[in-house]
């Protein structure tokens, strides 16, 4: 798994800004809290299958999630 601390920061910031707990976020994504914590705190990049759903839940564009803009 690729480590990407900037992506971790973006996901965590957007989730907090939306007022969504890690537990709520994990449930909405169909995963568990430990996976979300790895994305946010350990720089583990979510798989491509999660990027679209993260985008929909957090309301950020994929380019922003991948820091392509």
Tokens encoding 23: 């537990």
User: What are the tens digits of pLDDT across the range 52-63?
Assistant: 899 899 987 666
Q: What's residue 64's pLDDT?
A: 58
Residue 49: domain span: 5-65
User: What are the tens digits of pLDDT across the range 22-38?
Assistant: 999 999 999 999 999 99
Domain CATH for 24: 1.10.260.40
* 3-state secondary structure (DSSP) of residue 50: helix
pTM for this structure?
A: 0.82
Residue 40 CB burial class (10 angstroms; 0-12, 13-18, ≥19): buried
Q: What's residue 2's pLDDT?
A: 54
Q: Residue 68: pLDDT above 60? A: no
As for how many domains the chain has, the answer is 1
Rg of the chain over all Cα atoms, to the nearest angstrom:
11
């Amino acid at each position: 798994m690729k480590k990407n601390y900037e992506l971790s920061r973006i996901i965590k910031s957007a989730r907090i800004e939306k007022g969504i707990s890690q537990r709520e976020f994990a449930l909405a994504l169909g995963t568990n809290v430990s996976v979300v914590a790895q994305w946010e705190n350990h720089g583990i990049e979510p798989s491509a299958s999660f990027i679209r759903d993260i985008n929909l839940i957090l309301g950020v564009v994929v380019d922003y999630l991948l820091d392509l803009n």
